[in-house]
Amino acid sequence: METSRLPSARADSSRKFRAQLAGAAPAAPFFSMTETVLALDSVSIDEGRSRCVDRVSFSIPAGIVYALLGREEISPLVLCALGQRKASEGRALLFGEDARKNRRKFRSRVEVVTAGAAGSDRILGLRRALERSPELLVLENPAFGLGEDARTTLFEELRAARARTRITVFVAANDTAGIESIADRVGILAKGRLPVDEDLGVLLRKFRRISYRNEITETRTEYGNELDRFDAVRVRVRGWGVEAVVSNFEDSAFESFRRQDGVLDAVSRPMSLTEIFTAVAGGPAPPDPRASTT
């Protein structure tokens, strides 16, 4: 059995994560106009009668690589961020000014490389964009359709350029290929909202996969709330026990959890960015690590 919305006994363990997906007001924007290259301030985008982006806020300070991961929300959100599409609500800011009103003004300061070109042409496009020394480089699905060699070359060129110039980069992608090798900060969209926006190192530390067995004892007559402290994103109840993806892992809390009466064989495992993206944005469930491989 799998669920991304936990039973009521476990409801508190995913309250912060689910609040952003369920319509709670987003956090106030945290950007400073003097330091920020690009920012979205409570941006919503409607496609016909459907809302594909819902009150998304994030900012990209000068000199970092910000990777935004999502599904169908990515393309309209990139267009809005660059002022090429009007937001249904909220506003996009480039260099502290309204992106929509000033989109022509900023053309010389922004370069965009999309997934439309073939591998060699895309790498050439990146080189030409970097030669123009933009203040902001936007890469939309940079690895899409590329073979391993072309993908490696593209990201090596980008890392070399950043080592020389510390250019600000906004990567917007539907997959995680190459992202861990370049990103400083990562945002993950889910159902049009932005429940994850963290420095990459913090994100990889806070998300873990926890597996364990429950047992009724003399002092523990019920269970279901043992994950409260970890903010569970996804929980799977299997024949051997429980496997959960959590978004607020701490070593000290896990040691206490392992010693809890009735919790047996508790193990925590690091997660890759790909696994985190799948857990947050939706997709195939992670494999059962205890399943037989024979």
Domain span at residue 169?
31-183
Apex 15 CA angle, 12 and 16, nearest 5: 140
Same domain membership, residue 213 and residue 129: no
pLDDT confidence of 21, banded at 50, 70, 90? low
Q: Are residues 214 and 269 in the same domain?
A: yes
pLDDT band per the 50, 70, 90 thresholds, residue 20: low
For 111, the 3-state DSSP assignment is strand
**pLDDT by residue (tens digit) across 257-274?**
999 888 999 999 999 999
- Which H helix or E strand runs over 150? helix 148-165
Residue at a domain's end among 151, 183, 215: 183
Note whether residue 147 is domain-resident. yes
Residues 6+ apart with CB under 8 A from 21: 190, 191, 193, 195
pLDDT, tens digit, 9 for 90 and up, residues 158-183: 999 999 988 999 999 999 999 999 99
Residue indicated by tokens 């990201």:
155
Dist. CA 152–CA 2, nearest whole Å = 36
Q: Do residues 152 and 218 share a domain?
A: no
Q: Is residue 195 part of a domain?
A: no
CATH label of the domain that carries residue 53: 3.40.50.300
Sorted by sequence, the CB contacts under 8 Å of residue 148 that are 6+ apart come out as: none
Number of domains in the chain: 2
What is the SS3 string spanning 83-97?
A: CCCCCCEEEEEECCE
Arithmetic mean of pLDDT over the chain:
85
Which residues of the chain form beta strands (DSSP E)?
2-3, 36-47, 50-61, 65-69, 89-94, 97-98, 110-113, 136-140, 168-173, 185-190, 193-199, 208-214, 232-237, 242-246, 263-270
Closest CA to 171 of 143, 194, 151: 143
Confidence class of residue 7 from pLDDT cuts 50, 70 and 90?
Answer: very low
The full length of the chain comes to 294
- 286 lies in some domain: no
The pLDDT score that the predictor gives to residue 4 is 34
Report the alpha-carbon distance of residue 37 to residue 11 in Å, rounded.
38
Q: Give backbone dihedrals phi and psi of 67, rounded to 5 degrees, phi first.
A: -105, 125
